[in-house]
Every structure is written in structure tokens, then in C-alpha cells.
Structure 1
Amino acid sequence: MTNPYTAPSASGPAPKWARKRYVLPALALALFIGAGIGAGGEDTKNDAKPAATQPRPTATVTATATATATETAEPEPAATVTATETVKVTRTVTAQAEADTDSGSGSDSDSVYYANCAEARAAGAAPIHRGEPGYASHLDRDNDGVGCDS
């Protein structure tokens, strides 16, 4: 009968799998033995002496915080300033004869003129859309077709 487990030949180095087969279990065994030694009990020499003869230093940390409140003068309130503006509203209305109105030559946009948006708002006409009576380009800042929109 032939032996299925043959010894490695002396002609060359052992294959890698053979080296791992012995090295890895040996490392694992060494790890467990080292962990067992490290987890062992404390040294028995120190336990033999009574605790009263062995003074042990203790570290104590004390933190102290001191809050100091300083009184500050309360600032006086600032004076209240109220600005008022008086606006004089003038509305110019041009009357046309009936003959002009019938002919269709008159324009509604020329019949009402507002010098500014405050005047148009006071008259209750704001916002004014392009083509409505009272619309003018100086009332439409962003040129979107709506005067006195904001």
C-alpha cells in the first residue's frame, strides 16, 4: 500500500500552502496564550500586604468657575423721528365739445395727466395700465406696461 501523504522533497522549498498550514495556527496559539497570561490575576505579592500600610496616592481634580456680573448703564432710547410729507394733488381734466367726441379725433389718454404716482394713487387710479386714461411713460419705471404698480 502506498502512503498518500508524502514527505516534501529535499530538492526545493516547500509550497506556500504548506507554510501557511503550520505558521497560521502557531500564531493563533501564541495569541491565545499571550491573552491568557495578560488576563491573569493581579500580582499576589502586593495583595499580601494590608491596605493600611500601603498608602496610595489619589488624584483629585477641582474646577472652580466664578461668574462676575458687571452693571452696565442702560442705553437711553433714541429720539423718535417722524417725517410727514404733504402732497398737493392736482388733477387736470380737459373738457371737449360734443362735436369733437363724435368725430373720434379726441383721445382718452390725453384727458387725464398725473405728474407722479402719488397723484395717481390719491386719485384712486393706480395702477394704470398702458392704454388707460392717465398712463404715461414717466409713471412706468420698469417699462412693463403698468404704471405706479408698486
Structure 2
Amino acid sequence: MTSVGSAIFGVKGQRTRPVILLASGVFLGALVGSGGSGQSTAAEPAPTVTVTATATPTAAVDDLAEREAAVTSREAAVETRSQSVAAREADASTRETALNEADQWIADREAAVAAREASAAAAVSSTGSSSAGGSSSASGSTTSGGGSTFYANCTEARAAGAAPIMSGEPGYSSKLDRDGDGIACE
């Protein structure tokens, strides 16, 4: 309607809208009023109103430009966030790989400890079954009736899978602890 008002009155803007609406209302009222006056309108063709836009509304163009700028800004923000997410995913993947490697290392260490414990248990049981009440075994370690173990040197302790030996554990001797820190055959 604004473009029709601009074309008719030569004025652009929102102030012409009420005038145009009033004029079109009067025109339509006159058409409807003449149709109900009792005269036959079948012979007369119905009037047609053609509205054509002759000018581009600047307010609509400005609004579209603002919306386009907002969409462009949002697209840039989405792209930035996508890049941030991709970087975080790469970091998470790197960390996951490191965790998997650490888990494997722990599993390997646990298997090695279990093997050493089994070897030590086998050595203790073979030492206990072959020696009676404090006699010397084939490896050179001795066991007394109380269950304590003696190693002549660290080579024997390592061969039995007992090294390192902590103070208070069977087989510990201050002679095997060179630095006196309570850990023998380290």
C-alpha cells in the first residue's frame, strides 16, 4: 500500500498509509453501495482493482539487510564452535590413546608381578618341602622351622624372585641392604 500511496501522492513513508486506506475504503464503499441500489449489475462488468508496486520499500530492505547480517554472524559463530569441537575431539582422542597405553602398561606390570609372586611362592614351597627344620636348600637359602628365609646373597634372592626385600619380610638381612634404607637387593 505504501508504494501505491507513493505513486499516487508522490510521498514516501508511513504517513500516507491511513490516507490510502481511507480512500480505498470510500472507493470500495461506493462500489458496494451502488451495487445494492436496486439496479441490475449483471450487464455491467465488475470493476477490477490492480495494485502494482512501483518502488522498493526501504524499511523492508533495511530489515532484510539486518537479518542477513545476523545470519552471517551466526554462521561465523557456528563455524568457530565447530572448529572448537573438532579440536576438543582431537584432544580427547589423543588422551584416550594415552589412557589405553597406560592401561596396557598396567596390565603388563600386573602380569609381571603375578608371575614373580607365583615364582616366589613356588620357591618358598620348594624350599619348605626340601628342607627340614633349618637345613640348607639347593639354592643356598635356608628355612628354619618358623618359616623365615635366608639368602646368602642378592643373586639368590633374585633367582627366587624375592628381590627387592623389604625390612620385616622373610629373607631380609642388613647384610643384603647396602645403603641401610630398609630395602635389600634393590
TM over 0.5: same fold? no
TM-score (norm 1): 0.30
Q: Which has the higher helix share?
A: 2
Q: Which has the higher contact order (CA 8 A, sep 6+)?
A: 1
